[in-house]
Homo-oligomer: A and B are copies of this chain.
Amino acid sequence: MDLTVDAAREQWRAEVREWLAANVPAEPLPSLDTADGFAAHRDWERRMYDAGFAVVTWPERFGGRAVDLLDWLAFEEEYWAAGAPVRVSQNGIFLLAPAMFEVATEAQLERFMVPMARADEVWAQGWSEPGAGSDLAALRSRADRVDGGWRLNGQKTWSTRGTFADWMFGLFRSDPRSLEAGSSRHRGLTYFLLPLDADGVTVRPIRQLDGEPGFAEVFFDDVFVPDDQVLGEVGKGWSVAMSTTTSERGLTLRSPGRFMASAERLLDLVRRTPQASGRAVDDAVDAWLDADAYRLYVLDTALRAMAGEQIGAESSANKLFWSDLDVRIHDAALRLLGPAGLLTETADARWLDGYLFSLAGPIYAGTNEIQRNVLAERVLGLPRA
Write the residues of chain A forming the contact surface with B, with a CB cutoff of 8 angstroms: 278-279, 282, 385
A385 cross-chain contacts in B, Cβ below 8 A: 385
Report the separation of the CA atoms of residues A385 and B385 in the bound assembly, to the nearest whole angstrom: 10
A279 to chain B: which residues have CB within 8 Å? 278-279, 282
When chains A and B are docked, how far (Å) is the Cα of A70 from the Cα of B65?
A: 76
* Distance between Cα atoms of A279 and B282 in the complex (Å): 7
State how many copies of this chain the complex holds. 2
CA distance A282 to B280 in the complex (A): 11
A282: chain B residues within 8 A (beta carbon): 278-279, 282
Residue in chain B with minimal CB distance to A285: B279
In whole angstroms, how far apart are the Cα atoms of A385 and B282 in the complex? 39
* A199 → B minimal CB distance (Å): 43
Chain B residues closer than 8 Å to A278, beta-carbon distance: 278-279, 282
A153 to chain B minimum Cβ distance, whole angstroms, is 33
Identify the closest chain B residue to A281 (Cβ): B278
Tell me, rounded to whole Å, the shortest Cβ–Cβ distance linking A274 to chain B. 15
Expressed in whole angstroms, the Cα–Cα distance for A278 and B278 within the complex equals 7
Q: A163–B385 Cα gap in the complex (Å)? A: 38
Q: How far is the CB of A290 from chain B (nearest CB, A)?
A: 15
Q: A278 CA to B385 CA in the complex, in Å?
A: 42
- Nearest B residue to A385 by beta-carbon distance? B385
Complex A-B: 7 CB contacts under 8 Å:
A278-B278, A278-B279, A278-B282, A279-B279, A279-B282, A282-B282, A385-B385
**Shortest distance from the beta carbon of A150 to any chain B beta carbon, whole Å:** 39
A119: min CB distance to chain B, Å = 46
Distance in Å from the Cβ of A384 to the closest Cβ of chain B?
13
A322 vs chain B, min Cβ distance (A): 23
Residue in B closest to A283 when the chains form the complex, CB atoms: B279
Chain B proximity of A141: nearest CB distance (Å):
28
Q: A278–B282 Cα gap in the complex (Å)?
A: 8
Alpha-carbon distance between A325 and B279 when the two chains are bound, in angstroms: 19
Interface pairs A-B: 5 shortest CB-CB = A278-B278, A279-B282, A278-B282, A282-B282, A385-B385
